[in-house]
Structure 1
Amino acid sequence: MPLALSYTEGVLTPEAGLRAGRKITEAFLKWHGLADNSAMSSNVTMQIQSLPKTGALSGGKPVEAVWLECKTPSFAFADREVQVGFFKEATEIISDEARGNVPRERIFSNVVHTVDGTWNFDGKAMTNAQLNAEIARG
């Protein structure tokens, strides 16, 4: 499940972005009950990208901010407790790693759900049922 962490230059250092990415990945696995699941731990990936100061806009004007996007099957984030808990923890991680370089109101996050049958594990398009079977195998 690809996670993407993007931020404008200066908000995070490259090292802080790497630490935040690792911690957010761990939090994602924890909140979904998959921390010890070998099938999932290798398939939750994180892309970390620093954007130039002119590479992000809010209201059409340059903005310094952080964005976290999670691309998941439709059954992920179905539980409200997981939604609230994960994004609270992810925001804390980002805020801590930014060390005051970005206010909380400039930390944005969202989830994009994939179409059932289009999830790719090991080079094979899988349905939600097939993916759940892989997860159950651990």
Structure 2
Amino acid sequence: MPITVTFTEGVVPTERHRKVVKEITDTFLEKHGLEGNTVMTPNVTAQLHVQPKNETFSGGEPIEGAWVEIKSPSFALADREVQKTFFAEVTEIVHKHSGGKLPKKHIWTNSLHTVDGTWNMDGIAMTNEELGEAISKG
């Protein structure tokens, strides 16, 4: 499940970047009851992007902010309570690691569900059912 984290330069100190990614990853696994799952844990991947100031925007105007996007199969982040608690915790994680300086209203999150059958693990494109079977073994 790829996670993309994007910051405007300086909103989160560089030495905290890894902690943000780790805490978001751990929260995703925890909300889905997959802590320690040997199949799923290494397949929750992340990319962190830091954009120069004046290259991040809101309403077409430069802004300092943070964005977190999760790509997952349709069964992940499908429950409304999981959505609410996960994204609230993600917002809190980023806010905390900004030293409380980045306003929560400048932290945006979203999730994209992918087409069934497009998850590639170990070079095999898996359906939701096949993915669920693999996860249950971990």
Normalised-by-shorter TM-score class: over 0.9
User: What is the identity, as a one-letter code, of the residue corresponding to 1:130?
Assistant: E
- Give the match for residue 29 of structure 2: 29
CA distance in 1, matches of 2:36, 2:10: 34
Tell me how many residue pairs correspond in the alignment.
138
Which aligned pairs between 1:56-67 and structure 2 lie closer than 5 A?
56-67=56-67
TM-score (norm 2): 0.97
Could you tell me the percent identity over the aligned residues? Answer: 49
Measure how far apart 1:81 and its partner are. Answer: 1.4
Dislocated runs of 4+, deviation >2 Å: none
Unpaired segments of 5 or more residues in structure 1? none
CA distance in 2, matches of 1:100, 1:78: 30
- Give the match for residue 135 of structure 2: 135
Deviations 1:13-61 (A, max 9, x none): 1221211111110000000100021100000011111111122111111
- Give the match for residue 125 of structure 2: 125
Which aligned pairs between 1:64-83 and structure 2 lie closer than 5 A?
64-83=64-83
1:86 maps onto 2:86 in alignment: yes
RMSD: 0.8
CA distance in 2, matches of 1:15, 1:93: 14
User: What is the identity, as a one-letter code, of the residue corresponding to 2:131?
Assistant: L
